């Protein structure tokens, strides 16, 4: 079993920790091709998750349609908006070259600050 380290935007880190985001979408490039069920992913050196499954799609659109946008990008209203989110990180050329990985994750532990510690004080 391997351990992977990945960056992740704060809103999606929280969504995984809270169980609202079950799928992390990534380009299925050389790095992600090695990820297997049972592996561990550590997001932002703070949240440890176990990989439940990895499913491969030809495009982000197909992934969002098959996995359900609410499981991949909670809070994003449409498939079109979801594709735009991924376009900020990955070009259409790379998407066509590598395909897309839907990495099903389950949060298991906080490693750094607890979720509530980073919230603004009221």
Residue 11 and residue 50 in contact, taking contact as beta carbons nearer than 8 Å: no
The CA-CA-CA angle for residues 1, 53, 106, to 5°, reads: 80
- pLDDT at residue number 118: 44
pLDDT digits (tens, 9 = 90+) for 53-108: 999 999 999 999 999 999 999 999 999 999 999 999 999 999 999 999 999 999 99
Q: What is the pTM of this model?
A: 0.89
Confidence of residue 122 (pLDDT cuts 50, 70, 90): very low
Whether the pLDDT of residue 121 is over 50: the answer is no
Give the pLDDT confidence of 14-48 residue by residue, as tens digits: 999 999 999 999 999 999 999 999 999 999 999 99
**Is residue 20 a contact partner of residue 74, using CB atoms and an 8 Å limit?**
yes
pLDDT-derived band at 113 (thresholds 50, 70, 90) equals low
Q: Shortest CA distance to 47 belongs to which of 74, 31, 26, 24? A: 24
Query: Which architecture characterizes domain 3-110 according to CATH?
Result: Roll (2.30)
* pLDDT above 50: residue 120: no
Q: What is the pLDDT of residue 112?
A: 64
């Amino acid at each position: 079993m391997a351990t992977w380290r990945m960056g992740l935007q704060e809103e999606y880190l929280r969504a995984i920790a809270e169980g609202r985001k079950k799928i992390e979408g990534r380009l299925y490039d050389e790095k992600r091709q090695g990820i297997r069920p049972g592996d561990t992913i550590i997001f932002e050196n703070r949240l440890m998750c176990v990989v439940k499954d990895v499913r491969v799609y030809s495009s982000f659109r197909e992934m969002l349609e098959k996995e359900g946008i609410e499981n991949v990008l909670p809070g994003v209203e449409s498939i079109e908006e979801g594709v735009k989110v991924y376009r900020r990180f990955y070009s259409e050329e790379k998407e066509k070259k590598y395909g897309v990985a839907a990495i099903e994750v389950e949060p298991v532990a906080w490693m750094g600050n607890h979720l509530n510690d980073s919230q603004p004080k009221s």
